[in-house]
Structure 1
Amino acid sequence: MNALRQAPAPAVAQALKDITALGSFFSIELGGPDEGWHPVEDAYARGVADLIAATADRYDTRELRIGASIVQLGHAARLWSPVLACTVVHGIVPDLDRLHRADDGPALRLPAAPTGWYAPETPRLPDVLYEVVVARHLDALAAGLRVKVAPRLLAGNAASALVEAARAVLAARPDLREPLTDLVDGLLNTRRLAGTGNVVGPDLSFRRRSCCLYYRVPSGAKCGDCSLA
């Protein structure tokens, strides 16, 4: 990653601010006071137990693995969405190494001037995005979980969140269909994401090969991309 050409902090910040218009999952707060936030690595080390317990309670289930799956899926969406949108829309891959999480919820923040790299000058772009999101964040979250969740389920969640983020970008910028589809295809053939599912339609509809378990909560149902649907 050190060999990649750095983008200036103001350009990265502007890209991150611009893509928040795509929805709440695309929002990462920038700067501000540290009170109310903590390094996301601390949350990973604690197995995001606070969010899992709160989520299981909100969905009225005693199965903590369901809460863990929902939390991990949501976190994956909050990582993929801004990274994918900044990369495709602005040609900048944001660096999420110094990410913070809110003390009372899943919101994310970069406490200092954001850094990143120019995507058009980045070789093996899917590998770089995989490193930013999966290797540096989702793998650490999975390693810290205190509840057992199947690795392929978590990988399927990561793939599902990736494609859903891409669908949101495509809806807003249909002119970016080709680079967006190429990048998603490349990511779905990268390391842990390989074999998790397939894009099955021009609108980037997706069929995964695992289930996030949401259907097991009292008010739940099978998701549109579920292998059980």
Structure 2
Amino acid sequence: MDLDPELKALDALGGFFVLRTGVPPRGPLPTLASACADPESGGSAEVYADPMTFRVRKVEQSIRAPEARVAASVAQQGLAARFWSIALGAAALCGELPDLDPELLCWDPDAGAPDDLWLREVRFRPVADLDAVVRAGLLVPLSAALRSRHRVSPALLWGNAGSALAGTVRQLDRWALAHGRPDVGERARALAGPLLAHPDLAGTLDPGTLRRRSCCLYYRVPGGGVCGDCCFERPPRPAPGRS
């Protein structure tokens, strides 16, 4: 299957894999580059004063997070899942990698989940550039932006990214099994191996079980519990004197 210029082939994989192109009906949106910029520099003033802070506050209110760092973690994991899904999905399904340059990739911080992403211009890079496109090109600046605004550890954020990558592979495996395309699942697993071996992601997951070795903090959300791949079997008890 070829990936057509408007990336429609990705729609078949599910909502996290969808990537729209052109200008959104509601008008221009901030790019990921501007969303990750230092708000003091004025680089994020395209649509919102600070898209990253806006998004975290929206998530915080939506899930009733007890503190901003919990919402920052949830927001980052949602974006990481979208980045990996689009890039790995296109590479595994079609053998092509859309260039998710943060200057071209636009994002609506006021949308629901999955995050609404639009690509201004469709161009392609070699599949071998997966790490450069997603980890280095998107996740590194996203992590830096969130850590500059919120008290959230790099280990937690990279744990989120590793978990999101493993989740993407599982989803592609399920799709491949359901649609008689074992080649798609095989390519996804083969491509994910070197990505998880990078020092930023190595050690974030147990190699045998793919359970993560950090926690995204979702258990602190009212009624949240622990995720299926959490390092905890049950929600930890809060420290004395801490809600």
User: Is the TM value for this pair above 0.5?
Assistant: yes
**Cα offsets for 1:118-164 (capped at 9, x unmatched):** 43xxxxx3xx2121111111111111120011101100100111111
| Cα distance between partner residues in 2 of 1:149 and 1:115 | 34
Matched, 1:167 2:180: no
Aligned residue for 1:58, secondary structure, equals helix
Distance 1:209 1:47, change over 3 A: farther
- State the match for 1:138 in structure 2: 139
Residue 106 of structure 2 corresponds to residue 100 of structure 1: yes
Q: Distance in 2 between matches of 1:59 and 1:153?
A: 19
RMSD, aligned CA: 1.9
Unaligned runs of 5+ in 2: 38-49, 234-243
Name the structure, 1 or 2, with higher relative contact order (CA <8 Å, separation 6+): 1
- Structure number with greater Rg is 2
SS in 2 for 1:210: coil
C-alpha distance in 2, partners of 1:104/1:36? Answer: 13
> Counterpart of 2:20 in structure 1: which amino acid?
E
Task: Please state which structure has a larger fraction of its residues in strand.
Answer: 1
Alignment of 1:61-210 (within 5 A): 61-97=65-101, 98-102=104-108, 104-105=110-111, 106-112=115-121, 114-119=122-127, 125=128, 128-145=129-146, 146-174=149-177, 175-176=182-183, 177-200=185-208, 206-210=210-214
Alignment correspondent of 1:40: 32
Equivalent position of 1:18 in the other structure:
9
CA distance 1:85–1:11, shift in 2 (3 Å): closer
| 1:49 maps onto 2:50 in alignment | no
Among the aligned pairs, what percent are the same residue? Answer: 37
Higher mean displacement: 59-68 or 41-50: 41-50
TM-score normalised to structure 2 length = 0.79
Aligned length: 207
Ranges in structure 1 where 5+ consecutive residues have no aligned partner: 1-9, 120-124
Relative to structure 1, the CA distance from residue 132 to residue 211 in structure 2 (aligned partners, 3 Å threshold; closer, same or farther) is same
Aligned position for 2:236: none
Separation in 1, partners of 2:13, 2:138 = 22
> Do the aligned residues in 2 keep the contact of 1:80 with 1:161 (CA within 8 Å)?
yes
TM-score (normalizing by structure 1): 0.84
